[in-house]
């Protein structure tokens, strides 16, 4: 993913539609993959992408440049996903949704280019295992292993305690080990992390 410069946000803030389109093209695949993993539903992920970019345009003038635009957009997307996970109505939609198009597991619907066959198979296997987790456990795994949040930060984001995050992650790893048929928790945690970071 090519990182765009801060001038694109200034143009977006002024209503430049080409800037809006450039931001979307550059960052929508990343936001979709993040949302798909956290929410477990391609349809909800697509809605989260739209919500996130509406917020990006609305808050373009608030970008301070402490980190790259991609990092800033990720934070917006994570907050949008967490809001959806907290919404009883959206939570019910996610839980009762029909199975997604398999292409959506890797963000292919947003132009993702699949990797080698083995890597794609690992991603599909892990995606199915992650989808079997509860929505909360799935979000904790993503925030901790991929986004790099601490347990304390995750607890705060979710309005819960640090120990809540730790117990959710431990339970999620146990369920992932069962789904992926492995007896090595440390090895599997590392494998999950390495595969997730390739998407």
Per residue in 61-109, pLDDT (tens digit) is 888 877 788 989 998 999 898 888 877 655 555 555 544 544 444 444 4
In this structure, the answer to whether residues 19 and 104 fall within a common structural domain is yes
Asked whether the predicted pLDDT for residue 111 surpasses 50, the reply is: no
User: What pLDDT does residue 37 have?
Assistant: 84
User: What pLDDT does residue 82 have?
Assistant: 87
User: What pLDDT does residue 103 have?
Assistant: 41
Name the DSSP class of 123.
H
Q: How far apart are CA 111 and CA 9, in angstroms?
A: 23
Asked whether the predicted pLDDT for residue 190 surpasses 80, the reply is: no
pLDDT one-digit tens code per residue, 6-45 = 888 889 888 899 999 999 999 999 999 989 888 888 888 9
In this structure, the answer to whether residues 46 and 67 fall within a common structural domain is yes
In this structure, the answer to whether residues 109 and 122 fall within a common structural domain is no
pLDDT one-digit tens code per residue, 144-181 = 888 888 999 898 888 889 999 999 999 988 888 888 77
Q: Token match 């995750």: residue?
A: 154
For 160, other C-beta atoms within 10 Å of its C-beta total 15
In this structure, the answer to whether residues 97 and 129 fall within a common structural domain is no
Domain extent for 183: 114-199
User: What pLDDT does residue 29 have?
Assistant: 93
pLDDT band at 3, cuts 50/70/90? confident
For 42, other C-beta atoms within 10 Å of its C-beta total 22
For 178, other C-beta atoms within 10 Å of its C-beta total 12
Q: Token match 């803030």: residue?
A: 13
Specify the number of domains making up the chain.
Answer: 2
Q: What is the DSSP string of 9-50?
A: HHHHHTT-HHHHHHHHHHHHHHHHHHHHHHHS-HHHHHHHHH
Q: How far apart are CA 12 and CA 58, in angstroms?
A: 9
In this structure, the answer to whether residues 150 and 191 fall within a common structural domain is yes
Mean per-residue pLDDT over the chain, rounded: 77
pLDDT band at 115, cuts 50/70/90? very low
User: What pLDDT does residue 131 have?
Assistant: 79
Q: How far apart are CA 70 and CA 144, in angstroms?
A: 18
Please give the radius of gyration of the chain, using alpha carbons only, rounded to the nearest integer: 17
- Per residue in 46-58, is it b (16+ CB within 10 Å) or e — as a string? bbbbebbbeebbe
In this structure, the answer to whether residues 165 and 104 fall within a common structural domain is no
Which CATH number covers residue 30? 1.10.1740.10
Q: How far apart are CA 188 and CA 199, in angstroms?
A: 17
Q: How far apart are CA 174 and CA 145, in angstroms?
A: 15
In this structure, the answer to whether residues 172 and 108 fall within a common structural domain is no
In this structure, the answer to whether residues 55 and 123 fall within a common structural domain is no
Q: Token match 């301070």: residue?
A: 64
User: What pLDDT does residue 63 have?
Assistant: 87
């Amino acid at each position: 993913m090519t990182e765009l410069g801060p001038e694109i946000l200034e143009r977006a803030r002024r209503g430049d539609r080409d800037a809006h389109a450039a931001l979307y093209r550059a960052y929508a695949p990343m936001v979709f993959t993040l949302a798909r993993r956290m929410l477990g539903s391609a349809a909800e992920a697509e809605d989260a992408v739209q919500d996130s970019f509406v917020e990006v345009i609305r808050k373009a003038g608030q970008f301070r440049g402490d980190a790259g635009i991609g990092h800033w957009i990720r934070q917006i997307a994570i907050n949008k996903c967490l809001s959806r996970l907290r919404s009883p109505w959206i939570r019910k939609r996610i839980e009762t949704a029909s199975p997604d198009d398999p292409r959506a597991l890797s963000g292919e619907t947003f132009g993702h280019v699949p990797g080698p066959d083995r890597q794609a198979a690992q991603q599909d296997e892990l995606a199915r295992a992650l989808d079997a987790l509860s929505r909360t456990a799935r979000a904790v795994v993503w925030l901790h292993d991929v986004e790099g949040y601490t347990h304390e930060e995750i607890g705060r984001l979710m309005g819960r305690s640090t120990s809540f995050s730790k117990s959710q992650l431990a339970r999620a790893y146990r369920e992932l080990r069962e789904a992926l048929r492995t007896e090595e928790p440390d090895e599997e945690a590392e494998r999950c992390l390495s595969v997730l970071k390739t998407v």
